[in-house]
Amino acid sequence: MPQCVALDHCSVLSPPRSSIRACHVLPWGEERCPYLAVHLSAAVPVFAVVLFVFVMAMLLRTSFSDPGVLPRALPEEASFIEMEIEAANGSVPPGQRPPPRIRNVQINNQIVKLKYCYTCKIFRPPRASHCSICDNCVDRFDHHCPWVGNCVGKRNYRYFYLFTLSLSLLTVYIFTFDIVHITLRSVDSGFVNTLKETPGSVVEVLVCFFTLWSVVGLTGFHTYLISLNQTTNEDIKGSWSGKNRVQNPYSHKNFMKNCCEVLCGPTYPSVLDRRGMMLEDSSTSCRSPDVTIATANVPTPNEKTTSPLIPNEHTLDQAGLGGATAAQNAPASVPEEQEAGPGPREAPKTPPTPSVFKESTH
Amino acid sequence: MLSGPRQAMGRSTLPYCHESFHNLQELRQSASLANKVFIQRDYSEGTVCTFHTKLPSELDNRIEKTLFEDTVKTLNNYYAEAEKIGGHAYLEGCLACITAYLIFLCMETRYEKVLKKISRYIQEQNEKIYAPRGLLITDPIERGMRVIEISIYEDRSSSGSSSGSSTTSSSGR
């Protein structure tokens, strides 16, 4: 039950929707806190505030950190890989489809297929996947979460998990103390009077009750995935479901080790150049407001280079559009907030154009 | 959103080339870029950052096999050290979590420290071993940790012949 995946897609610009969920703590603060602080303990609202701040911090960290985007290949690297592929495939008679671009690699006695990404012009590392919303390959791709407005991948999975976990705790906490508050007031002045004095409490209880199921469910699901060292993407595709004796080669077969690796592993650096300028006819420079742990990068001037289009009929088949071909331009890029729409159809081997086309999910 | 590779910390770079010291500058002035070779990642040990140690055919007559293998093995060891999951990584992770990751404003992560070591090592290797042989190694972090790019230079005086297999005409000038 990966709820995040089932929800609507949203553009990158929309604010994290999860902040709406977390903010149901605010009316709680106005009405219930003084009563609970007086009758129970001042620690009750204080802990709620601390937890709320932690939830918001994790949410912002998940939303605004680089999930582990793999930058597109520079033209020389792309050509080098193309040449290797052509050398491996040999000459294909005209009219015949060239074989799929796949590399097989053996990890832990398991054959893993590395697919070629036509947009990024790289062979994707194991566990990486291309996100069509962000239009990037992401390392250890989990899913694209519209609620946080970002992909969840290698670099920000732990923040995402901590966000869902702390949000679950916060929801349970508020739910519990709302019920305690209603009970205490009812003991003092009767249930009906309590409803009249603090109608918000009952509404709050209902909101928490329904939120609990989705958030706690999501946390439970991700705890299960972490214990197996799997990603949501692999779970959905059933990559390691056990069919044909296929097993997860990345799992340490030990709950603690898997958890430690996913949650307490090293903090990977970002390999994106967020401030690089791309000289392109169609797009103007626009800076991303993202904040990451990466140190400041020096913008480099880049020549507009072009590479000959290689016919990729597989793109035609996979995309189902029957014609969108990708042409990659200057190396360093500007993080664009809007997605480029699908470009016009182009025959293969035409002179390269300076615009960039978006492809659908690979 | 389009993405490009990040640049190494604290170094200004020119397209396709890197210059840090005089002898490398001289390399740039007197030689022209002929070809580039890319050493790919080796995924047989999993997702840990490791590169193939096999000497590519284009570099056969340029550099000794043992020197090349030593360089790549040292780089692999550095990356293994950076990505090691052990007590130090846990402590760092827990401390960071408790401080809501604000501690990273003051402190460098272990991975970043190792990346700096790698950067220094590559510079040193370029100066001592690769530049005298007309080669230049690019830090993998500048290529998204996907490949080790080795640029092959030819003397301008003999630039009529290109070495090895040809790449696209967009490289070089």
In this prediction the ipTM stands at: 0.75
Residue of B nearest to A261 (CA): B85
- Token representation of residue B102: 């604000």
Distance CA A115, CA A315 (A): 12
Q: Which of A145, A259, A264, A286 does the annotation list as catalytic?
A: A145
Section A12-26 average pLDDT = 56
Residues present in chain A in total: 362
Burial class from Cβ neighbours inside 10 Å (0-12, 13-18, 19+) for residue A223 reads middle
Checking if the pLDDT of A352 tops 60, the result is no
Q: Using CB atoms, pick whichever of B13, B112, B170 lies closest to residue A75.
A: B170
Q: What is the pLDDT of residue B23?
A: 62
- Token representation of residue A358: 């978006």
Checking if the pLDDT of B21 tops 70, the result is no
Residue of B nearest to A252 (CA): B46
Task: Identify which of A318, A329, A315, A323 has the alpha carbon closest to the alpha carbon of residue A343.
Answer: A323
Adjacency order of strands within the sheet including A102-107: A102-107, A110-117, A122-123
Q: Using CB atoms, pick whichever of B11, B83, B147 lies closest to residue A266.
A: B83
Q: Which amino acid is at A19?
A: S
Chain mean pLDDT for chain A? 73
The set of residues, in sequence order, having a beta carbon less than 8 Å from that of A328 and lying 6+ positions away, is A72, A73, A75, A78, A119, A121, A307, A356
Residue predicted with more confidence, B122 or A41: B122
Query: What phi-psi label fits residue B113: left (phi over 0), alpha (psi between -120 and 50 degrees) or beta?
Result: alpha
DSSP code of A320? S
Q: What residues in B contact A277, CB-CB < 8 Å?
A: none
The region of weakest confidence among A94-108, A268-282, B108-122 is A268-282
- B106: contact with A, CB 8 A cutoff: no
Which of B2, B152, B165 to mutate to test binding with chain A, by most A CBs within 10 Å of its CB? B2
Q: What is the pLDDT of residue B4?
A: 57
Residue predicted with more confidence, A275 or A132: A132
pTM here? 0.72
Distance CA A187, CA A210 (A): 26
- Reported as a single tens digit per residue, the pLDDT across A140-186 is 999 999 999 999 999 999 999 999 999 999 999 999 999 998 888 88
The region of weakest confidence among A31-35, A302-306, B69-73 is A302-306
Q: What is the pLDDT of residue A248?
A: 82
Contact B85 A260 (CB under 8 A): yes
